[in-house]
Amino acid sequence: MKVYILKEKDINKRVAGRFIRLINKKENPVIGLATGSTPEGVYNELIKAFKKGIVSFKNTISFNLDEYLDLKDEKYSYRSFMNEKLINHIDIKQSFMPTDNYDDLIKAKGGIDIQLLGIGRDGHIAFNEPGTDFDSLTHIANIAEMTRIDNQRFFENGDKVPERAITMGLKTIMHSKRIILIAFGKNKADAVAKMINGPIHKSCPASILQKHPHVEIFIDEDAASLL
């Protein structure tokens, strides 16, 4: 695990740079994307680079980590979020959200070259909440209460965060060739410390990343404050 402690704007630039280099080098790049507040700055950098002609996504395929189930309104879907924050602004070849046989589909497309991750306050990655099996593939998961509270900020007019989602499993994520995890802010510090220094244990799903051969963790000083 390589850990970089940097300012938020430098993290966004560096991480976007990692994706741009991959995409400019590889014939058929496959990238793994996340939703939430954390990756928005990276997506803005990617859109800027595309508009300047520094990168084209025309041969790139993306796989998102997760998608809500049982939504009352499509506008809250992670598909809508991704379209608005990235996909509608670039020339990407194909962009997938989790479905049945997602692991087979990822494999058929050559596997994920770089997977982008955020982390939840309870140590979740994607919707793999504490207690999730390290051997899990893409599956339907219950969203933990703490995560539903945290994600309520994206919902309006009394609409509630769903209780279930479809998510890449921990093994799905571990199959990625490279992983980049980003975290900002003091409220992530405890999860970040457990992920990096804690035992590899189901109580902190992100701790499994200690076993991956090519992981980079980009955190700001606040998220690093308990290291």
Based on the residue annotation, tell me whether 212 is a catalytic residue of this protein: no
Q: Which of 76, 77, 31, 40 is nearest to 182 (CA)?
A: 40
Residues 19-38 that bind ligand F6R (CB under 6 A): 34-38
Choosing from 11, 22, 30, 65, the residue that interacts with ligand F6R (CB under 6 A) is 65
CB closer to ligand F6R out of 34 and 90: 34
Please answer whether residues 15 and 182 qualify as being in contact, where contact means their C-beta atoms are separated by less than 8 angstroms: yes
Choosing from 8, 29, 60, 66, the residue that interacts with ligand F6R (CB under 6 A) is 66
**Cβ–Cβ contacts within 10 Å for residue 51, how many?**
11
Based on the residue annotation, tell me whether 122 is a catalytic residue of this protein: yes
Stretch that binds ligand F6R, among 1-9, 48-56, 121-129, 155-163 (CB under 6 A): 121-129
8, 45, 67, 129: the catalytic one is 129
C-alpha radius of gyration, the chain, whole number: 16
Please answer whether residues 109 and 177 qualify as being in contact, where contact means their C-beta atoms are separated by less than 8 angstroms: no
Give residues with Cβ within 8 angstroms of 47, minimum separation 6. 86, 89, 90
Give SS3 for 179: strand
CB closer to ligand F6R out of 27 and 156: 156
Number of residues that bind ligand F6R (CB under 6 A): 13
95 beta partners: 62
Q: Does 98 sit near ligand F6R (CB under 6 A)?
A: no
Q: Does 125 sit near ligand F6R (CB under 6 A)?
A: yes
Please answer whether residues 111 and 30 qualify as being in contact, where contact means their C-beta atoms are separated by less than 8 angstroms: yes
C-beta of 56: minimal distance to ligand F6R in Å? Answer: 25
Catalytic residues: 66, 122, 124, 129
